[in-house]
Amino acid sequence: MTMHLLLHHWIFQVPHLRVSLFFSGAPSGWHGDWHPAPRRQFSCNLAGEVEVTASDGETRLFLPGDVLLLEDTTGKGHKTKVTSEEDFIIAVVQLAE
């Protein structure tokens, strides 16, 4: 069975603050392979639970309301797995480079 990420719904850019905001998510059971973050960004969990494994092997579970600062923009990055029965939905705030 192939599972796909949900599409980004809205993208907002705030030029004078040099940040972008978008919403994204993945269905229950989805898992992603190793990948770096595209840029430094905050991931704000709005719904669902997700397990994130860093390149050093540390794994953490993130619940609704949790905020994660992703700074692994080079190297192996991290991998992600949706562990909840409900879909995973996030708001992502990408920071200035």
pTM: 0.80
Give CA separation, 71 vs 5, 47, 61, 68, 94, in Å: 21, 22, 17, 9, 11
Domains and CATH numbers, the chain: 11-94 (2.60.120.10)
Taking Cα atoms as reference points, which of 27, 15, 39 lies closest to residue 93? 39
pLDDT, position 14: 64
Q: What is the pLDDT of residues 11-65, one digit of tens each?
A: 556 666 677 888 999 999 999 999 999 999 999 999 999 999 999 999 999 999 9
